[in-house]
Amino acid sequence: MISSMNLVFVLALPLLSGALLFKILLRETNTGPGLAVFVSYGLGMGLLAHCMLWMAFFRIPYDMAMITAGLLIIISILWICLVKVFKVRWSPVSGNLFISRSRDQNAGLMIFWGAITLMTLFYIWVRLFIVPVTGWDTLATILFKAKVFFFRRSLDDLSRLPHSTYPLQMSFAVTWLSLVLDRWNEQMTAGSIFFGYILSFLGGAWFFLKRMGVSRSWTAMFIGFVISSNFFLVHFSGFYGDFPQAYYNFFVFACLVLWVQERRSAWLYLAAVLSGMGAFIKLEGLLYSGIHCLTVFVMLWRSSGSRSWRTIAAKMGIFLGILAVWIVPFLVYKQLVLPPLPVTDQNFNFSMIRPEFSIGKFGMMVWVLWADLLFSGNWSLITVIFFLTLCMVPLERYRQRPELGMILFSLGIFLTMVIAGFSSTRFYYDVIDAHDPMSRILMHFFLLIPLFIVLVLGRMENPAHDRSNGPFRGGGSCAG
């Protein structure tokens, strides 16, 4: 039996596979190891989950040796691709850890948010590793499924489990770690995986934003925005799928912003991979992949001044192709392997959506959304700052920065989808009866709001602002 102390070494396997995938996709881009390490965690967890799904296709039983062998095969294939096919020299220590286009820094602000982040991480650690897991979805679906897979060593019972049509990435991760530990200990396994997601998000966001040219002060402010948001904090300290869904969505948009800024297709392809992996977290992930596709299409179409439709089709084709690699297997598995399931609340099916539109419901849904964003206490003052930023920033800045328009467009599509979706289906009553579903859905795209804020305020193009582009004018104290 592998001791708990070896968990770190065990987690290194998916991390390594993720790092290799990252390196293959960004082989011609010098990102520095910082970004690679943090994003690799999400990529590695996605690879692990798909490895386990493919094992289910071939009816290979789940045990530590088989899954480890599967991961090692993936690592070997990626390594061969990297070294032999793409002729990239792998050197994890090459590159500058602090590659960044950002310039200023406000030490006081960074120390403040650093201290707040550390203390909050301590609280999250206590909640994840000391206080027993709670939450309906956590026990009833994610962990229960993982426990069944762990004891049965297969997906054979999936059709008889609650929410059997739901994606399985989170359950797979817990099953795998439990197999490694050779015992069921939900607190250690779920806690480790989730804490990994949180650290990966914080580190990844830091390096992504720095690469986008956001100043360090505003990058710290972004972390602060997320930490200060109560709903995120609640989800950081529980084992729900909503935060990992938000994690993948955020990284997809971070890649798309870099794609727009740097005009390197590698970021687009990494976004496609992350979007596909995000579709294996929650059912909504599939719809979000649709939003990502639409966003990419619009951005390609918008910049088609010098491009032909053929180029757009080629880029879209590659994006959709990569996406399909991650999305199609589970859809096929559900269609071919799972027996037909009765349509119930627990077995979501698109046929459950029955248009029941009315103006009253639409208006109520707009109000619920508005109230959640501004009056719920879930999101601190981030939404207020967002609206202020929208109002106070000159329009020219949006025209000069297409990535800002891209974020607003995606947010608009998302919010339209939420309002239209809830007000025209029977899910309307779920939202009216409890505000939690609306907050959880909003959380999936909410990180775009602080991203927008820091991209606008933290990356002033006007030289007159360069001296003072910290959150507080003059780059000095809070009193500014």
Residues near other proteins, by CB under 8 A: 112, 116, 119-120, 122-123, 126-127, 130-132, 134, 136, 139-140, 143-144, 147-148, 151, 157, 160-162, 185, 187, 221, 224-225, 227-228, 230-231, 233-234, 237, 371, 374-378, 380-382, 384-385, 387-389, 391-392, 439, 457, 462, 464-465, 468-469, 471-474, 478, 480
From the CB of residue 97, how many other CB atoms can be counted at a distance below 10 Å? 12
Task: Report d(CA 100, CA 214) in Å as an integer.
Answer: 9
- Least Cβ distance, residue 429 to other proteins (angstroms): 16
The pair of three-digit structure tokens given for residue 35, joined into one six-digit string: 């970004």
Give residues with Cβ within 8 angstroms of 359, minimum separation 6: none
Are 248 and 448 in contact by the 8 Å Cβ rule? The answer is no
Instruction: Specify the residue, 200 or 380, whose C-beta has the smaller distance to other proteins.
Output: 380
- Per-position DSSP letters for 317-366, written without gaps between them: HHHHHHHHHHHHHHHHHHHHTSPP---BTTB--GGG------HHHHHHHH
CB of 142 to other proteins, least distance (A): 10
DSSP letter, residue 140: I
**Distance set, CA 432 to CA 22, 84, 427 (Å):** 42, 57, 9
Assess contact for 83 and 190: CB atoms under 8 A. no
Q: Whose Cβ is closer to other proteins: residue 173's or residue 258's?
A: 173
Which CB atom, from 273 or from 443, has the smaller least distance to other proteins?
A: 443
Minimal distance, residue 144 CB to other proteins, in Å = 5
CB of 287 to other proteins, least distance (A): 25
Task: Supply the minimum distance, in Å, between the C-beta of residue 177 and other proteins.
Answer: 15
Nearer to other proteins, 3 or 308 (CB): 3
Shortest separation between residue 127's beta carbon and other proteins, angstroms: 7
Report which of 454, 445, 385 is spatially closest to residue 243, judged by C-alpha positions: 445
Q: Quick one: CA dihedral 212, 198, 247, 469, positive or negative?
A: negative
Phi/psi region, residue 477 (left: phi>0; alpha: psi -120 to 50; beta: rest), is: beta
- How far apart are the C-alpha atoms of 480 and 477, rounded to whole Å? 5
Closer residue to other proteins, CB minimum distance, 160 or 302:
160
Which 3 state secondary structure label does DSSP give 305? coil
Dihedrals φ, ψ of 63, to 5°?
-145, 170
Token pair for 263: 């005009």
CB of 7 to other proteins, least distance (A): 15
Q: Nearer to other proteins by C-beta: 292 or 440? A: 440
**Reduced DSSP (H G I as helix, E B as strand, rest coil) percent helix, strand, coil of the chain, to 5:** 70, 0, 25
Nearer to other proteins, 356 or 436 (CB): 436
212 secondary structure, DSSP code = T
Determine the straight-line distance between the first and last CA of the chain, rounded to whole angstroms. 57
Instruction: Tell me the closest approach of the beta carbon of residue 386 to other proteins, in angstroms.
Output: 10
Which residue's CB is nearer to other proteins, number 228 or number 410?
228
CB-wise, 285 or 475, nearer to other proteins?
Answer: 475
| CB 312, min distance to other proteins, A | 37
